[in-house]
Structure 1
Amino acid sequence: MKTLLSRLARWAILAVPLVLGQCMHVPELGALADQGSTSQRRIVVDLGEQKARLYHQGKLVAVSPISSGREGKSSPVGRFSVIEKDADHRSSLYGNYVRDGKVVKENIDVRKGGRPSGSKFEGVPMPYFLRFSGAYGLHAGRVPGYPASSGCIRLPKRHAKRFYDAVRLGTPVIVQR
């Protein structure tokens, strides 16, 4: 009996990390983008957790840290769907004024203040943009670990590309607190 318990204890010590490791493993997207219809896919953004999750046929296939809207510039909450995809999107509201290739006024909101003469507006890059409501979308950007955006949902670039490649127009996007 003592030998049996000893074997079971050793087996448990070896097996538990393997089992737990399987629970925490999120499968690679791999060819998910090539599997046709996106009717079985959805993106769920949890603002409290600062995470975005991609589901396919009800199964979790990707998780990403995010940075949502900061205080005073909150991200919209509700049920939406992807209404635009743009891999090389640039902001039409936030960016820099540039003259002769040099920044003359940085970090501006085009709705505030004037444009320096001879300059042009250059919007902040928002790669892998998935618009889901008005000016809001998911896109690649800085993810410091807390809400810091002007309302969009930022993801690390590699995650933004994976989400972008895996969905099509009409994919549900659920943003919750």
Structure 2
Amino acid sequence: MLPVSPHVIGHRRPAAHAALGMALLVAGLAVPAAPASAAGPTTGTTVTLAAASQPTLRQGSRGAAVSQLQTRLTALRYDVGGVDGIFGPSTHHAVVAFQKVNGLVRDGIVGPRTWAALDRPVVPKPKYTHTGYSVEANLTRQVLYLAKGGSVVRILDASSGKASTPTPTGNWTVQRRIDGWRQSDLGLLWRPNYFYRGYAVHGATSVPTYPASHGCVRVPVPAMNRLWTTIRIGTPVHIYR
């Protein structure tokens, strides 16, 4: 597609600008994306007029556009929790996970750049292949993959260990599990799945967009509830950067 100079668009009269926009939409041409925000990295995704025309969605939004977003994220294997037209916490974390994988600003807001990336997304692949389910924590992207047979079947927002208490990298299996809250010396863990000593993949009420834990891999509590029946003792766990 040929980019359209913003200088050409900016000097048109309003009526002419609208006519040009309609012509571009029909032609499928794109408007160059705005400069990257200082709040975080972006992929430089080209924003089409179709993406720019979508409503900006954030936590608290409702309606058909939210259902469209949830349906698309679900098709891409992000853990939305269900399509109900309500932009709640699970949808927020799914959007953040998508933004992490696609190198976008991790703000949980679905604006033109995120809409555009949803049309041409990065499709992650697991690093390891198992016939059954396995869990992979990508510490660089701060996401957790549930994989099976060489494909990622679910993508969860995650927060691993901060610099002072890093999450150990390596290949392990789930060794023990607790079905409920565990009060550890460093805080509460929901349904922890221990893979190495006291390190676990567990649910937490706080899952920031950056590494913030004491070494475990945190995921949202509702996401852990949906993950709980899929993994078990012996499930492979791979932690890498």
Q: What is the TM-score when the length of structure 1 is the normalising length?
A: 0.62
**By how many angstroms is 1:23 displaced?**
9.9
- 4+ residue segments displaced more than 6 Å: none
Specify every segment of 5 or more residues in structure 2 that has no aligned partner in the other structure, as ranges.
1-24, 30-50, 52-71, 82-129
Partner amino acid for 1:52?
L
* 1:79 paired residue number: 171
Among 120, 123, 137, the residue aligned to 1:45: 137
Q: Could you say if the C-alpha distance between residues 93 and 27 of structure 1 is closer, same or farther in structure 2, counting changes exceeding 3 Å?
A: closer
CA distance in 2, matches of 1:23, 1:159: 13
Rounded to whole Å, the distance in 2 between the matches of 1:83 and 1:23 is 30
2:187 maps to 1:136:
no
Going from structure 1 to structure 2, the CA distance change for 1:59 and 1:133 (only over 3 Å counts) comes to: same
In the aligned structure 2, how far is the partner of 1:57 from the partner of 1:39? 5
Aligned mates of 1:23, 1:129 — CA distance in 2: 25
Whole-Å Cα distance in 2 between the matches of residues 22 and 46 of structure 1?
A: 19
Measure the CA separation in 2 of the matches of 1:156 and 1:23: 17
Match of 1:172? 236
Q: Alignment partner for residue 182 of structure 2, among 79, 90, 107?
A: 90
* Equivalent residue number for residue 67 of structure 1: 159
* RMSD of Structure 2 on Structure 1 (CA): 3.1
Question: Taking CA–CA contacts closer than 8 Å with sequence separation of 6 or more, which of the two structures ends up with the larger relative contact order?
Answer: 1
Structure 1 residues 1-177: aligned runs within 5 Å: 21=72, 25-26=76-77, 40-94=132-186, 124-141=187-204, 142-177=206-241
> Which runs of 5 or more residues in structure 1 are unaligned?
1-8, 31-37, 95-123
TM-score (norm 2): 0.47
Aligned partners of 2:75, 2:161: CA distance in 1, in Å?
28
* Higher strand content, 1 or 2: 1
Please give the alpha-carbon distance, in whole angstroms, between the structure 2 residues aligned to 1:39 and 1:83.
Answer: 19
Q: Contact 1:88–1:125 at 8 Å: present in 2 too?
A: no
Q: Using the TM superposition, give the Cα deviation of residue 25 of structure 1 relative to its aligned residue in structure 2, in angstroms.
A: 2.1
Name whichever structure is richer in helix by fraction. Answer: 2
| Displacement after TM superposition at 1:92 (Å) | 3.0
Give percent identity, aligned residues only.
27
Shift of 1:168: 1.1
Larger radius of gyration: 1
Quote the offset at 1:144 in angstroms. Answer: 1.1
